[in-house]
Amino acid sequence: MSDRTADTREPAARTRERTLSVTTLAAEFHAPSLTDFFPPALLFEGTPFELDRLMLVRLLMTAVLVAFLLLAFRNPRLVPRGLQNIGETAVVFVKEQIAEEVLGKESGRKFLPLIATIFFTVLFLNFSGIIPGLNISSNARIGMPIVLAAIAYITFNYVGIKKYGFLKYMRSSIVVPNVPPALHLLLIPIEFVSTFILRPFTLTVRLMANMLAGHIMLVLFFSATWYFLFDATSWMKVFSPFSLLAGIGFTLFELLVVFLQAYVFALLTAVYISLAQHADSH
């Protein structure tokens, strides 16, 4: 009787052990929560000036950008070297490959300060996403992307209104010429939404979503590496090199995304300004 009882209890005991091991595993390695990505305020909490980790990262990278530009151009030489060479190469790239390429030499020179400011701001704020100890771009939260998109939005609309006047600019932007009159009922709302609503929205979401997705992937890869090395059972440690290599590889890919997002944001800003300048040739 006792043997029969032991036999019936043994599977139940094994089931409890498996349940406990799964529970322990879940407790040791859990999916990151929103507070892991966006922690609460660290300074001046409870005041209008409270600063969380992302705001501190943003201020730090802004200071790095200002310091870089000051050091690069404080004593310019005819033959650039060091930081001046890097700074001039970056400025020339924005000038020739974005501003003048899209807007032409005259308009490109006129709007170069704005386009270069957007490019370097996005670039340096994105860089913090791959710097150990910072590990997140402040562009991964909507605040900065929406500010930059608002600047681009105000600029290209100002350019169009200044050149054509408000009514002509609006008409040229949303009315497609040489189409049957009945189609205007469909095309005018589409053009209005596309020009005046989707442009700032896509500028904002594209930058934020790309940097947030990259941050989440890096967190998952390196968290998995830590777990496999220090918390997992012995047979699971064999996965740690693969997750580490995946994290390193994705970091290199994220470095490309950092530059690409700055380039795309600045390029689209120039394109929208050009479209506003030539709204009558819609």
User: Between 28 and 137, where is the model more confident?
Assistant: 137
Least confident of 170-179, 224-233, 255-264: 224-233
Least confident of 49-53, 96-100, 214-218: 49-53
**Per-position DSSP letters for the chain, written without gaps between them:** -HHHHHHHHHHHHHHHHHHHHHHHHHHHS-PPPHHHHS----BSTTSTT-B-HHHHHHHHHHHHHHHHHHHHHSS--SS--HHHHHHHHHHHHIIIIIIHHHHHHHHHHHHHHHHHHHHHHHHHHHHGGGSTTT-S-GGGSSHHHHHHHHHHHHHHHHHHHHHH-HHHHHHHHHPPSSS-GGGHHHHHHHHHHIIIIIHHHHHHHHHHHHHHHHHHHHHHHHHHHHIIIIIS-GGGGGGHHHHHHHHHHHHHHHHHHHHHHHHHHHHHHHHHHHHHHTGGG-
Q: Does the pLDDT at position 23 exceed 50?
A: no
The closest alpha carbon to 73, from 94, 57, 90, belongs to 90
* pTM of the complete model: 0.81
Least confident of 74-83, 110-119, 191-200: 74-83
What tens digit of pLDDT does each residue of 72-99 get?
888 888 778 888 899 999 999 999 999 9
Q: Please give the pLDDT value at position 1.
A: 47
Q: Does the pLDDT at position 9 exceed 80?
A: no
131: left (phi over 0), alpha (psi -120 to 50) or beta: beta
Q: Please give the pLDDT value at position 10.
A: 52
The chain-wide mean pLDDT, for the chain, equals 84
pLDDT mean over 212-234 = 84
Residue in the block written with tokens 């009945």: 182
Least confident of 30-34, 150-154, 203-207, 271-275: 30-34
Rounded CA-CA distance 6/10 in Å is 6
Q: How confident is the model at residue 133 (pLDDT cuts 50, 70, 90)?
A: confident
